[in-house]
Structure 1
């Protein structure tokens, strides 16, 4: 995130080809970054849920747990990873007077404030409307593609979590669009950073929509592929006592341990390919060695 203040209003690539191909309804030019992501089926990082230090808990204009969409930010810091940014803003937000819900780079997606509540990232009006996520800068093509995949997945997941439609310019907006709409900030991210890679918000909206539609339809970002995942099914999860659903791991001796730095967002769908009985509960495998207990499963198919 930009290290300057984002005040609470007055209160405070180049395209290399011309052939078009389709990935499940998303048309992109053959050699653009979206095609690279989808063609290689880049898998987004799982979202980590951590408790940040931001101590101002305020609901959106429509109430707690009722955001109207997501603001796309870019950090404008060429040398900071998501971990770096999380540490910096947890330590310095009182003097910076700014904070967001999550930071994303090519390796991690780290959520540090419950998206049920607003943050200080884009001016007073937007802060009371939108979830806000910062994309960290990277330095090579593959890393940029992976960071976009992580960011698009985070955004699509949040839209689904809060039962929001995917409408570019309305439920998914850039900080630049927010600045132009509400005139409370003068930032133009992520447009300049995207342009360095021959990329723009229209292409990013295409990627978000692709993930969103597939997640809504099948729970899988690349859709149901009967040729290689015929046994995979989908479950939905929710934890009424916290902002995320906990995960556990099992070792070779079938001993269970809690996973401390990861969790699943409430009211989201997940694919699982195995299940096991342990200590009176059924556990479902949603990643290589990450399992969710049946107590948090609201339905599966």
Structure 2
């Protein structure tokens, strides 16, 4: 591989959503992987037998300033492209640091990096990046898999990679179609001809792994997310309250930071942190609320919500 937003606020004083330069925060913890039924490889079986759980997705907006929508518009990717870094031993953090420093020189950038310990999203997936040629760049979210040195680390890294991929398909309401909505860089090269890269096929083969087996894993996570499969404290379902609260204002405040995280709900009705945030100590118009797992979420844009932990509601 390469070295590497409808709702108009009714409050005049409302501060615009802060899209860039926000602090790191983690998504809601990930789903269980105990029901990997399509484990057609030793690696997938290892993930199942060892109850390996994908890590949460960490969002840190990076330095890439070329904000462009996909060919169908902002927030309309068509799938996910899987890359591999070809840099043995370099972590997701190492790679993100390199890309953030050098993208203007190497003319390359991706949305996320994943290793066995971390999934690091460094660019808002509503927007494209430069990672696989013009055709794919205008269509796909792109993630880089870091090279590791042990079987356990490889299993954990592909579990993280597959979960990220599945979660993005669900987030954007996309079907899981191997070779179409999920593609390797090798697939991109064959289908579009804009590049000649073959990753991650070669790296996968070193571990006796293949894209078909990776697709099995993505499919399992995708089905679990769509079905709401969960363990721990993420379950409990979602109740849509509609206008029970009526229109009003939420004053948002994060006592432990300079910004207020906002959430999006996937098709299964589960929240996760988005790549955007609200400015601290600001008022926002809301017309709907919904309850999830004992918390009330207030709508502050078409698909974005703020949790009651950071919000005080006043009826209008």
Q: Normalising by structure 2, what TM-score?
A: 0.69
Q: 1:158 to 1:285 in 2, by over 3 A?
A: same
Q: What residue is the counterpart of 1:201 in the other structure? A: 211
210, 224, 236: which is aligned to 2:220?
A: 210
Report the equivalent of 1:251: none
Give distance in 2, aligned partners of 1:159 and 1:153: 10
Contact 1:74-1:190 within 8 A present in 2 as well: yes
Is 2:161 aligned against 1:151?
Answer: yes
Match of 1:26 in 2: 37
Q: Quote the offset at 1:43 in angstroms.
A: 1.1
Of the candidates 255, 262, 265, which is equivalent to residue 267 of structure 1?
A: 265
Shift of 1:258: 4.9
* SS state at 1:294 partner: strand
2:97 alignment counterpart? 87
Q: Which residue of 2 aligns with 1:253?
A: none
Residue ranges of structure 2 left out of the alignment (5+ in a row): 5-33, 241-251, 273-288, 299-304, 308-316
Work out which of the residue numbers 132, 136, 139 in structure 2 matches 1:129. Answer: 139
| Residue 79 of structure 1, CA deviation | 2.4
Provide the aligned C-alpha RMSD in A.
3.4
Secondary structure of 1:55 counterpart: coil
Asked if the contact 1:47–1:263 (Cα under 8 Å) also holds between the matched residues in 2, the reply is no
Show structure 1 runs of 5+ residues with no match.
5-22, 238-245, 249-255, 273-280, 287-291
- Partner Cα distance (2:290, 2:210) in 1: 44
Aligned to 1:294: 297
Q: For the residues of structure 1 that align with 2:173 and 2:226, how far apart are their CA atoms? A: 10
CA 95–293 in structure 1, closer or farther in 2 if over 3 Å, else same: farther
In the TM superposition, what is the alpha-carbon distance from 1:233 to its structure 2 partner? 1.5
Q: TM-score, normalised by structure 1?
A: 0.72
Give the match for residue 105 of structure 1.
115
Please, which of 131, 150, 160 is the counterpart of residue 140 of structure 1? 150
Task: Describe the SS at the equivalent of 2:198.
Answer: coil
Q: 2:88 aligns with which of 78, 84, 93?
A: 78
